[in-house]
A and B are shown apart, each in its own frame.
Chain A
Amino acid sequence: MMENYPSFDVVIAGAGNAALGAALTAAERGARVVVLESSPQEFRGGNSRHTRNFRCMHDAPTNVQTEAYKEDEYFTDLMRVTGGQTNEELARMTIRESPKCFDWMKSQGVRFQPSLSGTLHLGRTNAFFLGGGKALMNSYFAAARKRGITVLYDTEVIGLDIAGGVFRGVTVQQKKGEPFQIKGRALVCAAGGFESNLEWLREAWGPPAENFIVRGTRYNRGKVLKLLLEQGVEQIGDPTQCHAVAVDGRAPQYDGGIVTRLDCVPLGIVVNNRGERFYDEGEDLWPKRYAIWGRMVAEQPDQIAFSIIDSQVIGRFMPSIFPAIRANSIGELAAKLGLPVDAVLATVERYNRSVVPGRFDHNKLDDCRTEGLTPQKSHWALAIDQPPFFGYPLRPGITFTYLAVKVNCKAAVLMQDGRAARNILAAGEIMAGNILGKGYLAGLGMTIGIVFGRIAGEEAARAAAE
């Protein structure tokens, strides 16, 4: 292999949305590009293969987005979820560049569609990929083939050759083969975070990490991120934090993606394995709250919880791929879920007693709530008394990690002494922490990925030509 791939202008580590954005842009500028993907071809595309849209600014309705979504509103939304943990210069640039990316993606053969059913709340802010993220990636890879970009699968970057802050090449390994070198004149690091690296998660989270489910690819092991940090690149973002949602406890360890989510939490109560409630299930509309439940469940004993609903609310949430566990009484359901029966009975009884009458409306903050209950349930509180009863196990499902390498607005990584590296760029999840210090805004990861991917590709081509 070594003889076939000795030297390229631009080396791209990773093969998701950011990586292919960089690869295609660099190739458009005439660079000879190699893309190094650690996964086999069938699982290429990192977490992008599980996505479905990107958040895109627009001043007037488009064929796939309604009304308008302007810079200030976009930025306000970002400030709200991050609590100010963002770099305003980078954030505003990302927002402003997003519509250009929309056009550019279309020019690469990517197709869009109006928001999917069940996601109307995103129809204004987000542009959906026709067929989802894997279809997006297929379009990119088809475009890459036409441009003569070399893509190496099953190829993991295991070493970076950086001298005096200047990149010269990478060491890679294909499956269990002999490591070999690939020379390059510029490097784009777009290899994602470390959410699939259990040992690293254990460092941050301790033993509870064993019970985490990784919603996306098993190949985001943070190798390139770690190599950069070891080379003295400045880091940003809380190294112990990750974005996690509550997923069905029966989800596979990796790659469960969208279908393992569970949307019934606000329609019932959630108890831990001691049969106790621990948070307000009806605090806010589910799209605004689903992302806090991963952490909430992670903090419970054995990192597990159970959503309990009754037959009144069946059919009011997105269907799950896992059958609900069903019983004719609360006691029987508790036993089937492996929960302490008396404790669950007492919790449900106390909850039912504190429900005050109201007009149930799943689509808005209604007035069905509890009174005198701790923690209270603020909305959609209906007594759980209509058999049969249903239960779903919940586990924390990690989406991504926040730890990132620091970059400037040219996507160049910053060294610990504050200087920008001359020919080392970063894009995507590996640098998203610059903008997304905490929280999450649907589709923003993909926007950061494509905006910085394209900048990194352009800068890499420029650096390679120097």
Chain B
Amino acid sequence: MPPLNDPLREGERLLVICNACRYCEGYCAVFPAMERRRVFSDADLKYMANLCHNCSECYYACQYAPPHEYAVNLPRTLAEIRVQSYQQYAWPERLARACQKNWLVAALMLLVGLTAAICGGAALGQGGGILISPGAGQFYRIIPHHVMVGSFGVVSLLVLLVLLAGFVRFWRETGEGFRALLHGKALARGLGDAFTLRYMSSAGAGCTYPNEERSMSRRWFHHLTFYGFVLCFASTSVAAFYSNVLGWAAPYGYLSAPVILGTLGGIGLLIGPAGLLLLKWRRNRETGDPGQSGMDTSFMALLFLVSLTGLLLLALRGTSAMGILLAIHLGAVMALFLTFPYGKFVHGIYRSAALVRNALEHERQGVEAGR
């Protein structure tokens, strides 16, 4: 039974081996999910691929890992299936595939293009000098308030719709109904597993990432990244509330809620992505999908850049650098938003959805066992 080229067929081959062995069932949710099945449809494989956190624990423990002739490398194959599923669920699918071909170029072009557009727009509207001497904290002189709110509002809405469509496609393909999402216990457990990164700790011992030595570093860096992002999002939301409802115009004081939230989140978003990139650099390349490197790197680099420019903007908002910094910052944020549905960001959606589904299956199994 030699390895197969098509990731889905290879995944099927591997899970048949894994399901006869089962030594890894204590590691994560993938193996109990596998044991609930005898045959593995493409939908099952995509679901299990999205359950996998790529900790690589099962690879190191595997008596059939290469150079054994069975050549079992589940983390890599599931990673390959996962990225395929991201593209398949994205809308339009073609755009996701195009980005996948060269993520770094795509992200860079987007970033430069958007920044240039903002600069150009500002220069056209206000005259070129505005970028060089914008006036302390006068953000809306660079980009008028209604333009900023309007463009980000429209883009956010579109992105949200595309992400929702992806989730709907994923959920439908698993065969679950949407009413199942109202199962409170399963929902709480699944989202709890997602928000605590339960399967990135290997039961408290740390997982085998970036290499065989156990470590909690990936989990902490991910927490910093995710919760940093949440704080930044909260900061922006509060600021929008101040500005649009209360009518308090930016800039806000250093001790105001938006600035404190944004600063804390920004620090998380600096350390988190930098740490994850560092770990990625050091990781055992055997257990990952080399084809995803661009997607992962561009996502983390954009997050880092958004945070860096945001913090610089805060520090230098009273200086003449503010104009250019604002343009770069907004360009980076817009680039990040636009790449959300086609890049690494979607892993959060499908991972969480897979964990909720896993919790649902777990609950049903319990009900059956109790009967």
| Chain A partners chain B | yes
Q: Judging by beta carbons under 8 Å apart, are A257 and B63 in contact?
A: yes
Task: Decide if B61 touches A315 in the complex (CB within 8 Å).
Answer: no
Given contacts A111-B205, A117-B25, contact A138 B60 (CB under 8 A): yes
Check B21 for interface membership: any CB of A closer than 8 A: yes
Query: A307 CB to closest chain B CB, in angstroms?
Result: 16
Residue among B25, B35, B57 with the most chain A CB within 10 A? B25
Given A117-B22, A319-B16, A319-B20, do A142 and B213 touch, yes or no (CB 8 Å)? yes
Does B30 count as interface, using CB distance less than 8 angstroms?
Answer: no
The reply on B160 being an interface residue by CB < 8 A is no
Cβ–Cβ < 8 Å partners of A132 in chain B = 21, 23-24, 61, 63
* Nearest neighbor of A262 in chain B, beta-carbon distance: B20
**Across the interface, which residues of A come within 8 angstroms of B63, CB to CB?**
49-50, 132-134, 255, 257-258
A320 close to B (CB within 8 Å): yes
Interface string of A343-377 (1 = CB under 8 A from B): 00000000000000000000000000000000000
Within 8 A of A (CB), among B198-230: 203, 205, 212-213
- Chain B, range 10-31, C-beta contacts under 8 Å to A: 16-17, 19-27
Does chain A have a CB within 8 A of B69?
A: yes
Please indicate the chain A residues that have their CB under 8 angstroms from the CB of B35 in the complex.
117
List, in ascending order, chain A residues with CB within 8 A of B370's CB: none
Per-residue contact bits, chain A 289-323, to B (CB 8 Å; 1 contact, 0 not):
00000000000000000000000000100111100
Q: Whole-angstrom distance between the alpha carbons of A321 and B25 in the complex?
A: 17
A42 at the interface (CB under 8 A from B): yes
Residue in A131, A134, A320 whose CB lies within 8 Å of B20: A320
Pick the contact of A315 from B38, B57, B58 — CB < 8 Å? Answer: B38
Q: What is the bound-complex CA distance between A261 and B35, given in angstroms?
A: 17
Chain A contact patch, size range: 20 to 34
Contact with A along B60-82 (1 / 0, CB 8 A): 11111111110000000000000
A135 within 8 A of B: yes
Q: Which of A119-150 contact B (CB under 8 A)?
A: 128, 130-135, 138, 142
Give the residues in chain A near B124, CB-CB below 8 Å: none
Say yes or no for B1: interface residue by CB 8 A criterion: yes
User: For chain B residues 42-96, which have a beta carbon within 8 Å of chain A?
Assistant: 57-58, 60-69
Contact mask A42-62 → B, CB, 8 Å, 1/0? 110000011010000000000
Residues of chain B contacted by A252 (CB below 8 angstroms): 69
Q: A113 — nearest CB in chain B belongs to which residue?
A: B26
Most buried by B among A43, A255, A319: A319
Shortest beta-carbon distance from A43 to chain B in Å: 8
Tell me, in angstroms, the Cα distance from A261 to B21 when the chains sit together: 10
* Bound: A64/B63 CA distance, A: 23
Residue of A nearest to B213 (CB): A142
Total number of B residues with any Cβ neighbor in A under 8 Å: 31
Chain B contacts for A315, CB-based, 8 A: 38
B-contacting residues, A430-459, CB 8 Å? none
Given contacts A113-B26, A117-B35, A321-B1, contact A259 B212 (CB under 8 A): no
- Asked if A177 is an interface residue, CB under 8 A from chain B, the answer is no
Question: Shortest beta-carbon distance, A138 to chain B, in Å?
Answer: 6
Smallest beta-carbon distance A421→chain B, Å? 34
Which chain B residue lies CB-closest to A49?
B63
Q: A50-B63, A142-B213, A255-B68 are in contact. Are A131 and B26 (CB under 8 A)?
A: yes
In the complex, which of the residues A52, A111, A142, A318 contacts B23, with contact meaning CB atoms closer than 8 Å? A52
Q: Is A116 an interface residue (CB 8 A)?
A: yes
Within 8 A of B (CB), among A230-264: 252, 255, 257-259, 261
Distance in angstroms from B135 CB to nearest chain A CB is: 60
The answer to whether B60 and A135 touch across the interface, beta carbons within 8 angstroms, is yes
Residues of B within 8 A of A257 (CB): 21, 63-64
CA distance A138 to B56 in the complex (A): 14
When A117-B35, A131-B27 are in contact, do A258 and B61 touch as well, CB less than 8 Å? Answer: no
Chain A, Cβ-Cβ closest to B32: A117
Verify if A118 is at the interface (C-beta below 8 Å from B): yes
A–B complex contacts, Cβ < 8 Å, 5 sampled: A43-B67, A111-B203, A135-B23, A259-B17, A321-B1
Q: A42-B67, A258-B21, A321-B1 are in contact. List 8 more A-B contacts (CB 8 A).
A: A42-B66, A50-B63, A113-B26, A132-B63, A135-B61, A261-B20, A318-B20, A319-B38
Residues in A lying within 8 Å of B, measured CB to CB: 42-43, 49-50, 52, 111, 113, 116-118, 128, 130-135, 138, 142, 252, 255, 257-259, 261, 315, 318-321
